[in-house]
Structure 1
Amino acid sequence: MITNEIRFDCQQCGDSGPLVVVPHIDGTPLTELIDSYEIAARMQPAGDAYGGLIPEFFRFGPMQDHFLGLSTGAMGPKTPVLGCECGEWGCWPLMARITATGALVTWDAFEQPHRRTRDYAAFGPFQFDRRPYDDALYALSAVIGSAAGGTGA
């Protein structure tokens, strides 16, 4: 079975803004992957609609839990993997079902909850080997933890 590679890019928004988390799948930002998909499918609006998640702004819980699909209690059965380009995840989120087993983590059943008629059946699924996925989550948590410690948050 061929699996995808993931890393979580964590960049500061502006000079002293909050950290923004964007998943990269096989080296490409998820924001670019979904933009290309929506544009090719002639969805409107499409292109530059999504941005990363800003953990500081929302109570996702630990990012390790969030990206394992464990922080979805208040959000329904799916997990926001991207937010709106404005920084508000609830404004224009990309949601996915995240299923974790001992060997794999799968992202599938993508949806844009504000446009329920959109068909994302051909987007994904993305499957990740569990150990490298956990390593990517650990690296993300280290960055978020060091940033929070450095800002006094």
Structure 2
Amino acid sequence: MISNEIRFDCHHRGDGGPLVVVPHIDGAPLTELIDGFEISAKMEPAGDAYGGLIPAFFRFGPMQDHFLGRSTSAMGPKTPVLGCECGEWGCWPLMARITATANLVTWDAFEQPHRKTRDYVPFGPFQFDRHQYDDALRTLSAAIGSDNDETRA
């Protein structure tokens, strides 16, 4: 079985702003992948609507848990994988079902909860080797941890 590859890019928003997390799938930012999908599907609005998640702004819990679909249960059965370009995840989130097994992590059933009629079935699913996914989560956790250390100093 062919699997996708994931990494989580961390960068500071603006000039020294908070840390932003953007998933990259097969080398492409998820923000670009979803923009391309929505534009080609003629969805309105589309393009430049999404941004990464900002862990400092929200109580997602540990990012390892969040990106394994075990975040705050108040969000429902799906997990925000992107937020709005404004920085507020609830404003314009991209939600996905995240299913993890011993060998595989799958992202599917994408939705834009503010546009329930949109059809995201052709987007994904993305399937990741569990070991590669866990490595990417460890790298993300280390990046967030070192960022928190810097902001406390």
TM-score range, shorter chain: over 0.9
The residue aligned with 1:93 is 93
Unaligned runs of 5+ in 2: none
2:143 aligned with 1:143: yes
Q: 1:30 Cα deviation (Å)?
A: 0.1
TM-score for the superposition, normalised by structure 1: 0.99
Deviations along 1:95-127, whole A, 9 cap, x unmatched?
000000000000000000000000000000000
Q: Which runs of 4+ in 1 moved over 3 A?
A: none
The residue aligned with 2:124 is 124
Residue type matched to 1:126 in 2? F
TM-score for the superposition, normalised by structure 2: 0.99
Q: 1:15 Cα deviation (Å)?
A: 2.1
2:75 aligned counterpart, secondary structure: coil
1:136 aligned counterpart, secondary structure: helix
* RMSD after superposition: 0.8
Paired residues, number: 153
Contact 2:35 2:47 survives alignment (8 Å) = yes
Q: Percent of aligned pairs with the same residue?
A: 81
2:102 aligned with 1:102: yes
The residue aligned with 1:31 is 31
1:74 aligned counterpart, secondary structure: helix
Unaligned runs of 5+ in 1: none
Residue type matched to 1:107 in 2? W
Contact 2:78 2:97 survives alignment (8 Å) = yes
Deviations along 1:64-103, whole A, 9 cap, x unmatched?
0000000040100000000000000000000000000000
Contact 2:60 2:71 survives alignment (8 Å) = yes
Contact 2:83 2:94 survives alignment (8 Å) = yes
